[in-house]
């Protein structure tokens, strides 16, 4: 759903630890999912994506897991660094048709803080 008027959950980790950020999405018709990173004063930037015909995708230090049964998405960051401190958003896109065809809907967001 839309994140309106909500204060964001936070996750604090130590440098070098692995981080897991979770997201519950709302639309069972969504077939494409994206994780974005937003640093202070900037627009969100693409990290990694996954299609609904996959359950796992790996990038550089990041892995996205998709569980369509429970409509859950997670982002794993390996060996978290201070530069990873940011707000992380998941997003879902429905490509099946209807008035929301192709619309990108964002999750609530999570503030990740990495302590040196």
Partner 1 sequence: GAGVSQSPSNKVTEKGKDVELRCDPISGHTALYWYRQSLGQGLEFLIYFQGNSAPDKSGLPSDRFSAERTGGSVSTLTIQRTQQEDSAVYLCASSSTRGNTEAFFGQGTRLTVV
Report if residue 69 touches partner 1, rule: CB under 8 A: no
Contact set for partner 1, span 9-28 (CB under 8 A): none
Report if residue 60 touches partner 1, rule: CB under 8 A: no
Which of residues 12, 28, 51, 67 is near partner 1 by CB under 8 A? Answer: 51
Q: What span, in angstroms and rounded, lies between the C-alpha atoms of 60 and 28? A: 28
Looking at the Cβ atoms of 97 and 116, the one nearer to partner 1 is 97
Q: What tokens does 107 get?
A: 């999750």
Which of residues 2, 17, 39, 55 is near partner 1 by CB under 8 A? Answer: 2
Minimal CA–CA distance to 35: which of 21, 18, 16?
Answer: 21
Which CA distances in Å does 42 have to 20, 37, 51?
A: 23, 10, 26
Report if residue 102 touches partner 1, rule: CB under 8 A: yes
């Amino acid at each position: 759903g839309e994140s309106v008027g909500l204060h964001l959950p936070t996750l604090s980790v130590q440098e070098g630890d692995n981080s897991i950020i979770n997201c519950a999405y709302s639309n069972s018709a969504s077939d494409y999912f994206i994780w974005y990173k937003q640093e202070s004063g900037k627009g969100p930037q693409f990290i990694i994506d996954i299609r609904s015909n996959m359950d796992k995708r790996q990038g550089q230090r990041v892995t996205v897991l998709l569980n369509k049964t429970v409509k859950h998405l997670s982002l794993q960051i390996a060996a978290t660094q201070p530069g990873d401190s940011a707000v992380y958003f998941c997003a879902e896109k429905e490509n099946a048709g209807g008035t929301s065809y192709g619309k990108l809907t964002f999750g609530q967001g999570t503030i990740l803080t990495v302590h040196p």
